[in-house]
Amino acid sequence: MQPEENHIESSDKQKLENQLENLVRQWKLKPEPAKQELKQLCGAELVQCVQQLSQTKLKMSQIVVFISKEEDKRQIYGLLGSDKNDYFGRHLNLIVAIRQALRELDAAINATEPQPVYLPFFSDEDAIIVNMLKDRMRNVELVKKTDNLLEGLKKVREMGRETPKRELMTEVSKLFSEYQYPEEIKNYLSQQLKAFYENRPRLVINNKINNFIKSVENVLVP
């Protein structure tokens, strides 16, 4: 009796492995790392998890399935300009690129090394990074009223450049009449962004901001 049970268990495991192989091939991902990450995210519910994700097309609600809070899910919908019931009609590796760019930006700000990700599914860890970035932006005078992460980072990027855009310099000079000259305005912007650049040079962080913006725009622009 025992050998037969082991045989059935082994057969089920092989079937599950085959399903995982099919999924990562369908999603055009790196097989072994993607499978391991999926096993880690699904935990004890791996079988049910794989069954739910074994579809030709995935809805946005499935792409955020590993985020626990509804508010955090809505932030991702807003970032990608989608509704939870929208189907994601692009290559799923674009989502992987966004998640990786998000980690690289967070690591650049905190002077750490980013962990690689392989799955096209946002997790609670992604949501934590998004919330931390938004908290940092709230400390910047000209960005704190910007609720959308992408728009906020675009403004941070402009503020962090050697020569900010004329529109931004004009905005500062209107808000703060004591800043009369471009050099004074640039100094003010640099001071405002101190929290963003305290661990790494701003060129490093700006490059990571650029990568993140481009990765999101690859999804937003057909």
pLDDT in tens, 55-111: 778 899 999 999 999 999 999 999 999 999 999 988 889 999 999 999 999 999 999
Residue-level pLDDT at 222: 66
Q: Determine which of 146-150, 178-182, 190-194 has the lowest per-residue pLDDT on average.
A: 178-182
HSE-up of residue 68 (Cα within 13 Å, Cβ side): 5
Q: Does pTM surpass 0.85? A: yes
Higher pLDDT, 158 or 28: 158
31 pLDDT above the threshold of 90: no
Q: How many Å apart are CA 73 and CA 64, to the nearest integer? A: 6
Residue 200 above 80 pLDDT? yes
Kindly report the average pLDDT of the chain as a whole number.
87
CA distance 214 to 128: 21
Over 90: is that where the pLDDT of 211 sits? yes
